[in-house]
Every structure is written in C-alpha cells, then in structure tokens.
Amino acid sequence: MCGIVGYVGREQAAPILLDGLEHLEYRGYDSAGVAVLGPTRGLQMKKAKGRLKVLSAMVDGGRTMEGCLGIGHTRWATHGQPNDVNSHPHLSQDERIAVVHNGIIENYVEIKEFLISQGIRFQSETDTEVVAQLLGFYYKETGDLMGSVYRVLHRIEGAYALGILCADVPDAFVAARKDAPLLLGYGEGCSFVASDVTAIIKHTRDVSYMEDGEVAVVRADGIRVFNAMGQPIEKEHSFIDWDVSAAEKGGYPHFMFKEILEQPEAVRKTVSPRLRNGEICFEELSLTDEQIRAYKRLFIVACGSSYHVGMVGKYNLERLLRIPVDVMLASEFRYADPLVDQDTLVIVISQSGETLDTMAALRQARALGGRILSIVNVVGSSIAREADDVLYTWAGPEIAVATTKAYSTQLVLLDMLGLYFARIRGSVTEEESERILEGLRALPEMMERVLQEKEEIQYLASRYFNHDSVFYIGRNLDYALGLESSLKLKEISYIHSEAYASGELKHGTISLIEPGTLVVALGTYTPLFEKTLSNIVEVQARGADVVALTTESRRDDMRKTVPNVLTVPDTHVILEPSLGIIPMQLFAYYVALQRGCDIDKPRNLAKSVTVE
C-alpha cells in the first residue's frame, strides 16, 4: 500500500528519497513521485506511473533535482486510476505547497465541491488533492502554514499520514497522522519521516512513532511535535534493533523464497525464549491467572493469512480450553455488532500491526468492553501499541507480500498461548501438555526436514503449473491449512483456487470437478485420515488429478490411493499445520515461478493494507 518518506539534512534529498522509496516497494504500489525544495530552483516535483525505476530514470537517480529537503511517495491507487497525474505529490493551485498522503479522505467530494466553487481547478481524480488545494486555499488567506495545517486537519475526515512541503519554508516539512502509520527518524544533522522503518533504517535507528492527531515540524537539527490542540509534546524514542540484512534479498531469487527458508529459525526465535524449565513463560503478558481462568469466550479477529491462523486456532484452542472460540474477519467484525463483553478476550492477529480493518475491529472490541491481546510482528506498530497486551512474533522483517514466516510464527505463538491458558485453567492433562511441549521444541528441526523436500515439490509444480483451477480439500485442521494454502497459490500465481472442507464438497462444489481438475488433498489430520481418503476417491471418480499431503506414518496408506504424495514428519496433531504449510508455500512459489509471475510484488496487492 502507499508509502511515504521525507528527508531534510545536508545532503541532496532526491537520491535519499528514491532509495527510501525503493525500500517501500515491497508494500505494493503502482506509481511514485518526489517533491524537493532547493534554494535555486524552488519547489520541484516529478512523478510517474509504474515502477520506481521509471521515476528514477526521469530524474537521473535524483541528480537532476536540487535541494536538501523533500518528500516522496509510492501510491497504491484507491481514488482514480494509476497514472502520472493521480500519483503523489499533489500541488496547491499556486504550486507553493506539495502533499503526499497515505489513507483515504472520506469527505473529499464535499471539500472538492467547496473549493471548485471558490475557483480552484483540480488536476487529478484523487481524494488527496483536496488536502493540497485546501491547504493552499487557507494558506493564501492567512500566510500562516501551521494554522492552515490545523484548519485542514479539523476539516478532513478519514485516515491520513501526510507529508507537506511549502515553498516558503525552506528548512522544514510538516508531517501529520491519523489512523495511518507514520514515524519520525532522528539522524546526525538530518531528520526523516517514513510510513515504514525500512525506508530509513540505513540512516537512523533512533525513531519515534507519531500518534493520532499529532503534527510534526521536521528540521535537520531536530523535530518538534505538537498534539491535536497545537501544544508541544515530548516524544518517547525507540531504538530499532533489526538486522538490516534481514530486509535484503541476500542472493536469493525472491524474498518469498528466502522467507520460506527462514521459517525454522523464525519459529525457533519465537518459541525458545518462551520455553523455560518445561514451562511456557509469557513474561510480557499482564493478564493474571485469575483473569485467564475467568474468560468464558475468546474471539480471534484478523484479515487474510492472519485470519487463517485464527482458523487453525479455533480448532486448537477449543480443544485445549473447552470454551467457545469465535474467529471473525476483522472487516466483518467491525460492522457485525459482535457479542463481546468484559468476559471476552479478543485476540487480534496482524503481521504488520497496521491493517486498518484489524485496527478498527480492535477499537470496536475495546468499546464493547473486551480486553485485547494482540499477536504482532512489527514492533511498535499501531495495533501493538493499542492492545492491552502484545505478544511479538520474532519473524524479523517480512518483505514479500505473500506472508510465510510471519504466518508460521503467528501459528506457533497462538498454539503456545492456547497451551499456556489451558495449563492455567487446568483443561489439559499433564501428559498431553508434555507431548505438545515436546512437539514445540522439535518443531524448528522438523521444519528443516520438510524444507529438504523442495525438489520433489518443484517437480510437482512443474507438472501442474498450467492448471486454471485448483481445489484444496481437507477436514478439521487440514481445512484451515487448505485456506492458507489456497490463498498462497492464488495471490502469487493468479490461478483460481478454492479451499473446501472435504465433507462439504458433495453439497455443491463437486459439480466443478471434471477430468483434469487439480485437487490438493490435505491429510495431515490423522484422526480423520480415512474420511479424507474417501473424499479423495470421490474426486478421483470424477476425473480429478490429486496431489496429497500426509504425515510420514500414513505415506504408504495414502500411496495406495494417490500416486503423488508429499509428506511431513509426524508431530502432535495440533502442530501438524505448522509443518503442512511449508510444502504448500513451496508449491505456490514454484508454480508462480513457472508462470513467470512477479512473486514478491503480486499485482493489485499490498503488504500492509491501511485502507478499508
């Protein structure tokens, strides 16, 4: 989704902005632009549809723009097509003010009508241009930039992270935030603003996160931050301790491939520090044992793959805790009048910690009296900061749009949380608990074993990459696993695919099975293995080609029915999805590779979905 970077310092701004934008490319975008302010040439702006390299070529890597102060943007179209004109920055009519914006201005039509009635002529179809034009309009009236910024912020509705450059202010730019992430970076003789830390981490690790309603005036020698009333405030600084190389491709063909291979280590980092002397320790949790015992119901709320983690969690947590666990898509939850009260714990899952629907669901749940526990990968992100408790997954930066290692670490952390609660509530036997703990300890090594089977998966992908439609079928945990497997395939290979609970096929979908249809049958949930075999036979009888996944102990049984069998090691049944997902991710990856798709940046998708 859209990305913002701003710089002010002693060096030429444009090359720094372009480099920052390059590090935001992974978020997904369709056009890019920069505005720079220089002592000789004043406010200069360049923007272009397409990849960043198009813009970079236009400005010779930034060398044709002059000035040590600037803002840059990658746009993911919402209002108006992806084209040069709709790209950001947008200018006020007198071209004295340039604005970049992430988010959506919901009342832009009404403001646009007002401005048109005042003689303002619009260039683009975007909601963002109203911010630039309204700001220019107020500024022309008063000549007071900060006063005009506040007037604009009071008038616009919706979500925004804004970067604002004014031709009359040669040493500073302004940033503002509401419901869209924005952070400030403090360098040596320079300052930054960015929507995502990856854009500036090579320049500084000293950052602070802007809160809703805050406005910052960013200068080379420091940043002043004001609250919604215009009063100065002190910001808490955070230190980013990421390994920069984790956000680099490091010789791998794609980030997604690298991140698939990183999963054993990511899971090890997430699990090991929380396993001590045979106990699960969540020192970061402020929930008391008494509160954990008192909850009568759990909700899991998330989007996309994080929602699929919740689907696995429903089966596993209900099994362990024997209380109802409802899983809801965040975009549905927020408008569904959900049955949440003070007896409900709401578990919110998000890799980025910035997904707008998930954030809105969190606020809705809190307003209804629920307590919020979040599972988040990005430290300091909005969801992490707003939740009552946060458990971090230690997957490290995930760059590929299609999540892999973040999904795996979310999954294992939710399993651990379920077991932790179950031990406190006394709803799991000592013996069962021991077997799960043993499985958790062995999981990274088992994942490594699964990764060694890559070639076989690549071979299967080369046989089936030409299919137009793929079905994933499974029961119970395998159904939940199928949902994520199917999403992986469709998002990166653009093949139509659906996940079905095997038992549900005969209620309609089996009509789509015809000779040559590819069905991926998931049979890692061994308690229902025989039922899955029956469903496989049903689709084979209708001519489907079947690729099956099962555990090593059931390989021979599966082979009697299906020639193409992939296996994962046997572990405790609740942990099987953590192993089963790896061959499915690899299958999707190799299929997309064969089809020549843009694997790390699939069309129309964004890494962090900050619009509704």
Tally of residues, the chain: 612
Task: Please tell me the distance from the alpha carbon of residue 279 to that of residue 275, in angstroms, as a whole number.
Answer: 6
- Active-site amino acid positions: 2, 607
Between 55 and 399, CB nearer to ligand M6R: 399
By CB under 6 A, is residue 393 in contact with ligand M6R?
A: no
Site string for ligand M6R, 481-500 (x = CB under 6 A): ------x---x---------
* Burial 378-409, CB ≥16 within 10 A → b, else e: bbbbbbbebbbbbbbbbbbbbbbbbbbbbbbb
In the complex, what is the shortest distance from the CB of residue 608 to ligand M6R, in angstroms, rounded to a whole number? 6
Tokens of 333: 């939850």
Q: How far is the CB of 205 from ligand M6R (least distance, A)?
A: 22
Residue in 411, 446, 519, 609 binding ligand M6R, rule: CB under 6 A: 609
Residue numbers 239-278 binding ligand M6R by CB under 6 A = none
Stretch that binds ligand M6R, among 139-147, 349-357, 443-451, 567-575 (CB under 6 A): 349-357
What contacts 328, CB < 8 A, 6 or more positions away? 299, 300, 301, 336, 338, 361
Site for ligand M6R in 351-380 (CB under 6 A): 351-352, 355, 358
Q: Kindly tell me which of 574 and 609 has the beta carbon lying closer to ligand M6R.
A: 609
Residue of 55, 311, 402, 495 interacting with ligand M6R (CB under 6 A): 402
The residue nearest ligand M6R at its CB is 304
Residue entry with tokens 């102060």: 69
Question: Exactly one of 306, 331, 364, 408 binds ligand M6R (CB under 6 A); which one?
Answer: 306
- Shortest Å, Cβ 308 to ligand M6R: 8
CB of 487 to ligand M6R, least distance (A): 6
The residue type at 1: M
Min dist CB 361 to ligand M6R, Å, is 11
Question: What phi, psi does 49 have (nearest 5°)?
Answer: -70, 150
Binding of residue 305 to ligand M6R (CB under 6 A): yes
Question: Reduced to 3 states, what is the DSSP secondary structure of residue 608?
Answer: coil
Q: What is the DSSP annotation of 108-174?
A: HHHHHHHHHHTT----SS-STHHHHHHHHHHHHHH--HHHHHHHHHHH--EEEEEEEEETT-TTEEE
Question: In angstroms, what is the minimal distance from the CB of 413 to ligand M6R?
Answer: 13
CA–chain centroid gap for 46, Å, is 29
Closer Cβ to ligand M6R, 382 or 532, answer by number = 382
CB of 350 to ligand M6R, least distance (A): 3
What is the spatial distance between Cα 199 and Cα 486, in angstroms, rounded to a whole number?
A: 31
Name the amino acid, one letter, at 133.
Answer: Q
Tell me whether residue 201 or residue 581 sits nearer to ligand M6R (CB atom). 581
Which one, 491 or 576, has the nearer CB to ligand M6R? Answer: 491
Residue 75 or 601 having the CB closest to ligand M6R: 601
Element at 473 (helix H, strand E): strand 469-474
The DSSP secondary structure of 218-285, one letter per residue, reads: EETTEEEEE-TTS-EEPPPPEE----GGGGS-TT-S-HHHHHHHTHHHHHHHHHGGGEETTEE--TT-
Q: Under rule CB under 6 A, which residues in 568-597 are in contact with ligand M6R?
A: none
- What stretches of 280-324 show up as alpha helix (H) in DSSP? 289-294, 304-321
- Round to whole Å and give the CA distance between 451 and 454: 6
Residues that contact ligand M6R, how many (by CB under 6 A): 17
> Of the candidates 195, 403, 476, 502, which one interacts with ligand M6R according to CB under 6 A?
403
Least distance (Å) between residue 161 CB and ligand M6R:
16
* 395 touching ligand M6R, by CB under 6 A: no
Report if residue 350 touches ligand M6R, rule: CB under 6 A. Answer: yes
The residue range among 206-214, 278-286, 297-305, 504-512 that interacts with ligand M6R, by the rule CB under 6 A, is 297-305
Confirm if 360 and 347 have CB atoms less than 8 A apart.
no
Given 401, 518, 566, 573, the residue binding ligand M6R (CB under 6 A): 401
**Contacting positions for ligand M6R (CB under 6 A):** 303-306, 350-352, 355, 358, 401-403, 487, 491, 605, 608-609
